[in-house]
Structure 1
Amino acid sequence: MPLVAMTELMRRAKRERFAVGQFNMNNLEFVQAIMEAAELERAPLIFGVSEGALKYMGERYVVALARAAAEGSDIPVVLHLDHGSSFESVMRAIRAGFTSVMFDGSHLPFEENVRLTREIVRVAHAMGVSVEGEIGRIGGVEDDLSVEDEEAQITRPEEAIRFFEETGVDALAISVGTAHGIYKGRPKIRFHVIEAVARAIEAPIVLHGGSGVPEEDVRQAIALGVGKINVNTENQVAMTETIKRIFAEKPDVYDPRKYLGPARDAMREVVRAKMRLFGSSGKA
């Protein structure tokens, strides 16, 4: 089927208490692994593309890969810009064929974040494109985005509720203690913040930095209203560790298919496990 927006998926996820996984694409093997997992699990999925990955792969290749994956399947597939840094970059993604966009204005003053997000929602919705907004800064490192742990601000529920009411986003990312990248210890998730915001707004909450969050914490977050969880680091680690192992065992290997194929298989299993954990298996 054609690529879809995430609007209906998000509403259903919140209503039925499951989460749709956003799995970032970084090259062909990521796309294949994620799509194979979705087919096996019969799970809807969101291909996330950061601005760094977009630069690395090239806009036309990104859109072509996502379209090829979606059109060869009956699984609902969303192509989503992750952490769009400006109004211009979000508009460029929409023109290129993305069916969903995130504008990350969390570093801006509240009123400016609201103003820009509201304008993006107005344009995107007119084009049938869904929008994710962010309020509160999420820690860790992703591409060129870096927020020191001590700077990461836990979202205030009343601010998040007002942000949603004034922007009308389809999904809302809030800072509740998760972080991009690899955790130094167990993340301390503020479940009371998730509960307070999710209870007051229609849109589901988005959990960024989903790699490495303990399973019981993931289940509790979903039960409280998280409907979208982003995963990237665990796939990157699965690919890299597999390739390292193959090179250690077979130092003479030079055919990329001999190490990228097993790396793809490793990522597929990571994604399958996440889909089962998120409760999205069988929801396609």
Structure 2
Amino acid sequence: MPLISTTPMLEQAKNENYGIVAFNVHSFDSIYWVLEAAAEMKSPVILQTTVGTVKSLGAENIVKVATAAADYYRVPTGLHLDHCTDYEVIKQAVRAGYTSVMIDASRHAFAENVRQTKQVMELTANLGVNVEAELGKVGGVEEEIVVSEKDAQKAVPEECKEFVALTGVPTLAPAIGTAHGIYKGEPDIDFTRIEQISKMLDIPLVLHGGSAVPEEDVRKCVALGMAKVNVSTELKNAYSIAIREHFTQQPDSLDPRAYLQTAKEAAKAMVISKIKMVGSEGKVAATPIK
């Protein structure tokens, strides 16, 4: 089973009022346990990598492993490059076989964001590769991208409409009050803003900063049209904490098969809980493969 474009996957999710989780993977083994969990849940899924992970593992290597895992588990799988500000890295990912890329020019003025997004749209034209862009500024830290609380800005609905009209981008991540990482307090999600943007646009929206957002809030975002929900920090933390606890309890147990299995089970449990949260469990049979 080849990797598939996330465009039809997300369009169907939006039309049928469920979400697709995009899980950040940082190692080759994480690709397999994310898809193993998705297969158990009969859920389509998106594997997502940061620019740092691409530089660490190599775009072509990631594509090969993700393709092999998708074929093994028979799960409709998209592969997405997240928060990329470098056009050359986007080209590298597209050429390697990524089925979705994000051009993050949200820190620039509106016109420059439009220009950079159109450049990526031209690159991916007729390739079936989904393109994601961002409007407003999502707070928090996403590897080398740092947006302070005071600099975080929510997307303007009218600008979202104009942006999509000018670029033709098929998915949009509007800043609506969430943040990357684990929240120090309660997230300030602007549901009214999401609803306004969703009514103006006929494309799937993307929820960034999905880690640690209360489940009822995520479900409400999905119901309002946010078809892609990004999860990174919670998944990474579950895996790492399980390894730490393994060595705390069994300091002499040095067999990687033991502590990695423990970490895998903790991470899989997190994947399963997020799939249930967005309502994509059991949707594999209804998901078109293109």
Q: Tell me the TM-score range normalised by the shorter chain.
A: over 0.9
Post-superposition shift, 1:125? Answer: 2.9
Tell me which residue corresponds to 1:195: 195
Partner Cα separation in structure 2 for residue 128 and residue 24 of structure 1: 22
1:226 aligns with 2:208: no
| Unmatched runs of 5 consecutive residues or more in structure 2 | 285-290
Residues 29 and 260 of structure 1 are in contact (CA less than 8 Å); yes or no, is this contact kept in structure 2?
no
Q: Which amino acid aligns with 2:83?
A: H
Residues 137 and 152 of structure 2 are in contact (CA less than 8 Å); yes or no, is this contact kept in structure 1?
yes
- Please, which moves more after superposition, 8-17 or 59-68? 59-68
Q: Which amino acid aligns with 2:33?
A: A
Q: Which amino acid aligns with 1:87?
A: Y
Tell me which residue corresponds to 2:288: none
Aligned to 2:281, the other structure's residue is in SS state coil
Q: Which amino acid aligns with 1:149?
A: E
Tell me which residue corresponds to 1:237: 237
Tell me which residue corresponds to 1:73: 73
Tell me which residue corresponds to 1:123: 123
Residues 139 and 146 of structure 1 are in contact (CA less than 8 Å); yes or no, is this contact kept in structure 2?
yes
Partner Cα separation in structure 2 for residue 137 and residue 234 of structure 1: 21
Deviations 1:232-281 (A, max 9, x none): 11111111111111101111122222111110111111011100110111
| Unmatched runs of 5 consecutive residues or more in structure 1 | none
Tell me which residue corresponds to 1:143: 143
Residues 23 and 231 of structure 2 are in contact (CA less than 8 Å); yes or no, is this contact kept in structure 1?
yes
Tell me which residue corresponds to 2:179: 179
Task: Return the TM-score normalized by structure 2.
Answer: 0.95
Partner Cα separation in structure 2 for residue 17 and residue 48 of structure 1: 22
Tell me which residue corresponds to 2:24: 24
Cα RMSD after superposing both structures: 1.0
Aligned to 2:5, the other structure's residue is in SS state coil
Partner Cα separation in structure 2 for residue 63 and residue 160 of structure 1: 32
Residues 176 and 189 of structure 1 are in contact (CA less than 8 Å); yes or no, is this contact kept in structure 2?
yes
Tell me which residue corresponds to 1:60: 60
Q: After TM superposition, where is structure 1 displaced by more than 6 Å over at least 4 residues in a row?
A: none
Task: Return the TM-score normalized by structure 1.
Answer: 0.97
Aligned to 1:146, the other structure's residue is in SS state strand
- Please, which moves more after superposition, 246-255 or 51-60? 51-60
Partner Cα separation in structure 2 for residue 75 and residue 125 of structure 1: 26
What count of residue pairs does the alignment treat as equivalent?
A: 284
